[in-house]
Amino acid sequence: MTNYVDETRYSIGVDLGGTDIKAGLVSSAGDIFCRVVLPTDVETGGPKVVAARIAEAVRQVLVNAGTTSIDITSENPESREGLLGRFFEATSSIQTDDDVHEIGVGLGAPGLIIAETGVVHFSPNFPGWSDIPLVAYVNAELEKLQPPKPAVQTDTHKRCKPVLRGMDNDVNAMTLGELHHGAGVGYKSLVALTLGTGVGGGVVIDGKVYHGSRNTAGELGHTVVEPNGRVCGCGNPGCLEAYAGAKNIVERIQGKIEDGRRSSLADPLDEGVALTPRMIAEAAEAGDALAIEIFAETGQYIGIALTSIAHILNPQIAIIGGGIAEAGEKLLFEPIRKELSKRAMDIPAQMEIVKAHLGNDAGIVGAAMLAMEGA
């Protein structure tokens, strides 16, 4: 494996979602350039159509990069003046391999991903996909983008050929992003939790994302926190996700209001307003006792899950991201820490709990790191 920390290098990170494909050129320092967002267009076709959309996003990143002053074909950061290694619209074939600079692409995709073989086993965002060799499909599409020999050949202007080098689960990619360029910098063992619609997780042991025996490790959202509790989307009662997922937080406060608890959110609910975690957080900040209680309980459940995780893995740090984490220190992080210190043995209880740093960029940065790791 190449050590990519000592020299500035670039790869392209692609964050595949059910709605959008986000892509960008990422330096080994973790900076993103030349961003592109395209609709995934999953309705219009099968996996090959999505693979073509991914290739199109990569092409657009390279075209955008062509107008910048970054030379991605150079491994020497001193030589950044001049144009980027040229990427041209495909109109003819490459004549010699010496003129071509291969640039790695990494892909984060939702669902159960078999990283070694580049296969999407199953994805809730892509109904009907079963054991899809997505890496092979994307590389077939990228092949079609091969840049032609430029009219004027120079020593410094090589042409870029993108190659998809790695794919992993999107949460594992985000975890890798936080490890290399976010809240996890300087740590070797960590866990990451993303609190969004669902609750995703990633595990890093000794500097590497841990995949388990069959690629399903890190499903921290399905840690049981209440034996006979709310039924999770996975069918099991009492998973963390059934309490800390966005929809579940909303349902919990609605249930309490319907049971007669007072809250400033009762009136908007009566008027048919669809509550969101952000509205609950705003009510809590304005002093609404029930909203504060809902976040305290959410923190408590996360703390219970992290207690088990701390005892099993003894990570140095737990990184918590996603929209719900925006509720912040007082509403969410303090209750989490309080629960962990109440329950865990003294050494595992010392696990640090921090907010993720990269926000929505973690997916692109982490995906790009997949390509650099495989370099």
Residue numbers of the site for Zn ion (CB under 5 A)?
A: 222, 232, 234, 236, 239
Identity of the residue, 229 or 359, whose beta carbon is nearer to Zn ion in the bound complex = 229
The length of the chain in residues reads 375
Q: Take residue 253 and report the two structure tokens written for it.
A: 């406060």
Identity of the residue, 2 or 236, whose beta carbon is nearer to Zn ion in the bound complex = 236
Task: Report whether 15 contacts 6 (CB < 8 A).
Answer: no
Identity of the residue, 184 or 218, whose beta carbon is nearer to Zn ion in the bound complex = 218
Identity of the residue, 229 or 328, whose beta carbon is nearer to Zn ion in the bound complex = 229
**How near is the Cβ of 222 to Zn ion at its closest, in Å?**
4
Helices (H) and strands (E) in the chain, counts: 11, 12
**How near is the Cβ of 229 to Zn ion at its closest, in Å?**
10
**How near is the Cβ of 216 to Zn ion at its closest, in Å?**
12
What span, in angstroms and rounded, lies between the C-alpha atoms of 368 and 26?
A: 6
Task: Report whether 337 contacts 328 (CB < 8 A).
Answer: no
Identity of the residue, 233 or 268, whose beta carbon is nearer to Zn ion in the bound complex = 233
Locate all alpha helices (DSSP H) within the chain, ordered by sequence. Answer: 47-65, 134-143, 170-181, 241-244, 246-258, 266-270, 277-285, 289-313, 328, 334-343, 362-373
Which residue, 8, 16, 61, 12, is CA-closest to 34?
Answer: 61
Query: 262: exposed, middle or buried (C-beta count within 10 Å: 0-12, 13-18, 19+)?
Result: exposed
**How near is the Cβ of 93 to Zn ion at its closest, in Å?**
50
Identity of the residue, 102 or 226, whose beta carbon is nearer to Zn ion in the bound complex = 226
**How near is the Cβ of 106 to Zn ion at its closest, in Å?**
28
**How near is the Cβ of 196 to Zn ion at its closest, in Å?**
15
**How near is the Cβ of 238 to Zn ion at its closest, in Å?**
8
Cβ atoms < 10 Å from Cβ of 83 = 15
Question: Which residues on neighbouring strands pair with residue 281, listed in sequence order?
Answer: none
Contacts of 268 (CB under 8 A, 6+ apart): 275, 279
Identity of the residue, 221 or 277, whose beta carbon is nearer to Zn ion in the bound complex = 221
